[in-house]
Chains A and B, each alone.
Chain A
Amino acid sequence: MKAKFWLTKKWLLVLPILFLGVVEAKAEIQLSDTFSVTGYLRHELAVHTGKMNPNNTLIGQKDNNAINLSRTFFQTEWAYNPNATFNVFSKVKVISDQTQGLDNNLNDYNAFPLATPRYGGYLRATNDREFDVEMSELYADLTLGNLWFRVGKQQIVWGEMISARILDVINPLDWSWHFQLEPEEFENIRLAQWALRGRYNVEQATGAFEWLRDLYVEGFVNPGDISPTIFPAPGSPFNLKPPTPPIFRIREEDRQGDTEYGFRVGGRVGQFAGTLNYLSLYSDGGFLESGPLLAPGPPSPANPFPTVNKYPKTELYGASLNYNFPNPIDVTVTYEGVYSPDEPYYEALAPTPRISTGKTLKHAIRFDRKTFVFPTPISAMMIQFQYSQTLVSNSEKLKSTPSPFSAANNIDSTQNTFALVLSQDLWHNDINLSLTSLYDLDGASMLRPGFKLKRGNHWIFDIYGVILGGSEARPGRLGSLNFADEVFGRITYQF
């Protein structure tokens, strides 16, 4: 496998070399007056510094892997802008994954899994475990006066919070290759879906309603490209799940053809700005529900529980609000919350996996301040402090995984997390220092310090550390991910 890796993918280099041969100094290639392309060539390497992934131990990995990720990306973004009314955008990715080729301790795994075989409207030209070519986004914008539409394979992002998905829940995520550890948070891992999105900017009212400013109404409909979260494949350094016991025979509930939609209204009253949101979505993560055994006798691989992996529908009611305190306080406060009357969980005491729901409120408040920490002309430091909380009613009757109920999968009625994000640009923004820190009050944490160096218009070098830990190791909590500790770096040439 190692020899094959080095011999077969060399042609991958031809494409980017061809592109790089025609780049202009301004880091964008204008192919014609209306057609341009930009993009980047990037290599990313993550060196594993944590313990062996226990989920992979259970499927036969013998020694700890030294590499979490080695991946080369050639991403191009094509824009067709014939006029101010209509334009088309497309993002094409060519990706080579060398992780398992470089690390003998990793078992074979699929570096480019899909949630289910050919599920969803992925524009993926390949079906390879180490190589991927796909058109990850393709959409057209149409602007007609105050009305704007975007139709196509797109990311729809509502919400303003950092390191937390409260209202930003429309698109599922691809956790398969680097979990949620990318510095751009979700930009590189949100799965674009085929949808129609529209927004209407309401003309400024006069007279009695002049106090209502920048009012807009927005909505979207996904007519059937329902796509679940892509989890890391078994054997992947980021494998999150232990193997499913063979006593469950699982059938996927196909949500293709079902509809997701949402709408919101946003605007300002004085210095208060906010939105009211409604979303009707199917759960991104699957939930198992088992029926009775088909034959008498104990469950076994020969007599399994028929089980459906379901994606329950949820309704979400959300709101966001922000306000800026002027000088000398100079702090911006942002609140965001979403309430679900039917958030899916598992019934705690059911003998076999059974889906139940709980009333759930997820909300967060964030304080932002730009402060000159270093002497000018050095830029101001952005300081962001955020408190997030999840409240679950009847939590004692619920559990988070289909495993038998225990302290390892019970659900707290309240979960609290603090986030502190610092970002400091130096040297005419050629250097950026960052620190993202998350602290779960139940005893788990993540630290991600970062250093970025930019040279000219094209080159970017960045390096980050990821330190996860804490005693709170229940599924989905930061402490359970401490096998993912790493140092990762990226070299990027953008054009």
Chain B
Amino acid sequence: MAEAVQAKKSLPKINKVDQPYWQGAAAGKLLIQKCKSCGKLQFFPRVVCVDCFSGDIEWLEAAGTGKIHSFTWVRVPRNPAFKEEVPICYINVILDEGIIMESRLVGKGIEKVKLGDRVKAAFQETHNPEIKLPVFEMIER
């Protein structure tokens, strides 16, 4: 029997709307959307401002810092390609700009993570050299 096709870790299917976000990440910047009409900040990238429905949106570089809002240790990833990395610390972060973001916590000290811990963005390489994933690391105290 033929060997099963090796599953690959999921990568974003970049579209016209979120291309600037992924270009920013590849350059080590965490970009969020800002509505030019009402000033609302938002994430994930969308075609409209979710507050005033304007389509006039620009990109803003976030400070990349925030705090842990909630977290879980993933033992059974949806995509089996991630199995080798379990447990994965999957997080909700509240950026200092006041925006909730889903991401992953990596690096030193994550086994002691608790709600409210300060974190900062990092940019993780993927199997596609053009794509980096915004993740977070603990800020040491």
Q: Is chain B found bound to chain A in the same assembly?
A: no
